[in-house]
Structure 1
């Protein structure tokens, strides 16, 4: 089936495979380290906290280490990013990724954003937002000029967790819900040399909305240096990040436009191929992509703004199982 070209001509993605600017990343973070070196993990399992020093501030990061990871050998790392007004511990609970990590032997890191979003009462672990480049927060305001650069921060999280817990820098992945999905999308755009694949839940973007026409992405804001495999899920009854899009610069263009843009960026030749998964869930797949970097959308006709799975009664799919089945197919090329 030919690639759906709806709105693609307007997007002008001819520069898709141009190397993305480094967003200020240090040279040491630009390429994966040698993932083949044998290393040993400390005798920790379950939830632990790792302190990440970044630009003079120390940030505690919740990390889950399954017993199945063992004590030697490098294992995959999944960044698990919370939604706006959420926090790392809440996302770890909500996503149910601990159970999948137990079964599959990967480590999960769930850091916090650094932009405070007021709540009353304030949750025990805070109410945070990510600094998605060039995008307002859900409060409707642009991040302050001194907001932490979360592209650089999350790259630092990868290095620190890998150094302390022996993760494989060729098998580092990112996922997130809502605002965390938008941040995950930005990592795909800006850190394609560090992130092997992404899974954006209820928040996939392919660059920020064009300020002059929010119904399309701003081409210059997403130029990954390599094809990035993408899986996403989105409810058609989502009123927070509406499936058909909105006029909000924070969200903007429709979910199908985001998916089609990633398919174009990845050079996919076929799709979308529709497969019925359950009564309300259809999988739309783009295949024949450069370096096998498929793009897959799980469209949930009766779904709202949720992470489908054990913590959402009535879910017909388990997003955390889906994302790992997708992730484990991919790793960064050796250097």
Structure 2
């Protein structure tokens, strides 16, 4: 069961926006369009709405609020940012229902909803483009007590960055993110066919794992500095444990990684949390999506190269931006070590606009 309580009145949305999406670069590059998929079956919910059919108006105020999402009898506050623009005026809103696209914005290990929102400025693009951002916190406190309110995600089957496996009874974060999505749909804020997930580092690993487990819930994903395609094999961390990621439908992927990343090394390591190389993760998603063309490799800037896999099942392309000399950072993000040659936030949203379930 999950329920919602709005905890605060929205903060006024920003009006001077600098992070406007760059334009139809991805569409021109690949010629892709939206992914087709089965219609969503509606089921009754306790508040009278129907799962998969949002209400006419979003019940969350414009700006930034916190919504309680309940799972297994525990309520968790979730940061929600709704653009301060009428749904009918939003560039990508569903003008029949008023529901908007929604992007899950997942924080890294040792982070939280506020830190990732400040880091990648996704809210600014949301205000410009009319989509909702949702930033939950992971299940596992970094310390006990946890005065800084920073968290790890319970990524299925792998230890945290602290090296320990979650104890029995730890919240299932796949179930939790599903409850988050369902709640925003039931509140009339999110179009269930246009739900997307991004994240940095541990949040990227969680977004990857969620797509493996619930490809029926997300139209595309955008892991930054942390794409995975299942957990490393327990017998050989340099290989993927294939059965840990076998999505029943294709999931479009756009991802970014620096080849000088020392946290989640591009070349891989022997860590059961990380393991195999970034290149193998990209190739694995291309394989799972049935892509038959690629990689097509093209320089984007002096230090950024794009690899694209196309002719994929359901048009679910895989696009990889490799940052030469890039660190464990979000391209274009608020980090002195991050490349400013491209904006991951802008490229991610441009990619997402081509897909729906």
- Paired residue for 1:321, among 346, 350, 357? 346
Q: Shift in Å at residue 165 of structure 1?
A: 4.1
Q: Shift in Å at residue 80 of structure 1?
A: 0.5
Counterpart check, 1:96 vs 2:96: no
**8 Å contact 1:69–1:106 — kept in the other structure?**
no
| Aligned-partner SS, 2:226 | coil
TM-score by length of 1: 0.86
**8 Å contact 1:69–1:107 — kept in the other structure?**
no
Question: 1:156 & 1:34 partners in 2: Cα distance?
Answer: 13
Question: 2:323 & 2:84 partners in 1: Cα distance?
Answer: 34
Give the match for residue 22 of structure 2: none
- Cα deviation digits, residues 212-257 of structure 1 (max 9, x gap): 1111110000010101000100001100000000000000000000
| Aligned-partner SS, 1:145 | coil
Question: 1:110 & 1:155 partners in 2: Cα distance?
Answer: 13
Question: 2:245 & 2:167 partners in 1: Cα distance?
Answer: 22
Give the match for residue 94 of structure 2: none
**8 Å contact 1:50–1:60 — kept in the other structure?**
yes
Counterpart check, 1:73 vs 2:98: yes
- Paired residue for 1:153, among 154, 160, 176? 176
Count of paired positions: 301
Hey, which bits of structure 1, 4+ residues long, moved more than 3 A? 32-35, 119-122
CA gap 1:275/1:122 in 2 versus in 1, 3 angstroms: farther
Give the match for residue 58 of structure 1: 75
Q: Shift in Å at residue 312 of structure 1?
A: 2.9
Give the match for residue 259 of structure 1: 282
| Aligned-partner SS, 1:213 | coil
Question: 2:212 & 2:76 partners in 1: Cα distance?
Answer: 24
**8 Å contact 1:68–1:104 — kept in the other structure?**
no
Root-mean-square deviation over aligned CA pairs: 2.0
Give the match for residue 322 of structure 2: 299
Question: 2:139 & 2:83 partners in 1: Cα distance?
Answer: 27
Question: 1:65 & 1:74 partners in 2: Cα distance?
Answer: 11
Q: Shift in Å at residue 164 of structure 1?
A: 1.8
| Aligned-partner SS, 1:324 | helix
Q: Shift in Å at residue 70 of structure 1?
A: 2.6
Give the match for residue 13 of structure 1: none
Question: 1:297 & 1:161 partners in 2: Cα distance?
Answer: 30
Give the match for residue 45 of structure 1: 62
- Paired residue for 1:286, among 267, 285, 309? 309
Q: Shift in Å at residue 127 of structure 1?
A: 1.4
Structure 1: stretches of 5+ with no match in the other structure: 1-26
Structure 2: stretches of 5+ with no match in the other structure: 1-42, 89-96
- Cα deviation digits, residues 138-192 of structure 1 (max 9, x gap): 0001111111000000000001122224210010011100000000000110010
Counterpart check, 1:115 vs 2:115: no
Question: 2:331 & 2:351 partners in 1: Cα distance?
Answer: 16
**8 Å contact 1:96–1:309 — kept in the other structure?**
no
